[in-house]
Structure 1
């Protein structure tokens, strides 16, 4: 009975650590690739290849980020950068995020999981991504985009790019 209880504890705790996967090439969030039958296969096409830069300026995104984080009522700490690289399907849906975290000297670090999750939650509210982009003979392309949050003492102070 004791072995069954220990086995149960181990299995139930696995879900607590399933949010991020850390491998030698980076840290990945536990998100799925959202595909659509209306979209082309997910080739490696970047947002600048299909002229799909987010149509809102960095200052507006920064203000929206601060408003979003204020509503969470969480406090954060740390200084550095949290960068998300993610797919956007042809319908403008974000998925399959890679997270890169560095300190102010660009050395790998880890911020609090709730901070990363809250920033990812904000990212999912950004709904003005270009839909149905085309490049050469590929119609309804999926594409990759990147956004970095510059953080000082737990506060987002800049959005890059």
Structure 2
């Protein structure tokens, strides 16, 4: 049964929720540099969004929506971080192709995705966004596989309320 649920997806018992502190992690960014989340905690709010795959329709709309609202995120002092299992070269190409001004992190073994407990839908990795305050506490979580652009409006609304 567990294998069935893992394949078809389930809401993970370990999923990070509002009020939880985010786990420590470090991954390679689109430039091949190591990004360690502990270096930014305490300095600024974070918007961490997990997405399935570079250059797919909904993921591209979502990324471009974050790009188009990037000045609004900067207004709130927030750092935007996108995470998928795509490799560094794929992220670099995706960021260059769409002029993405924010950090994309490569999680090829889905280790950070699992740390956050991001659920799968069928075999598709989930699309979940976490808004995190300066202390590393999740203040908002939004989960929608189909509506990539709503991740941006939800995040901005959460930042506005902080």
Q: Calculate the TM-score normalised by the size of structure 1.
A: 0.27
Q: Calculate the TM-score normalised by the size of structure 2.
A: 0.26
Query: Which structure's residues are more often helix, by fraction?
Result: 2
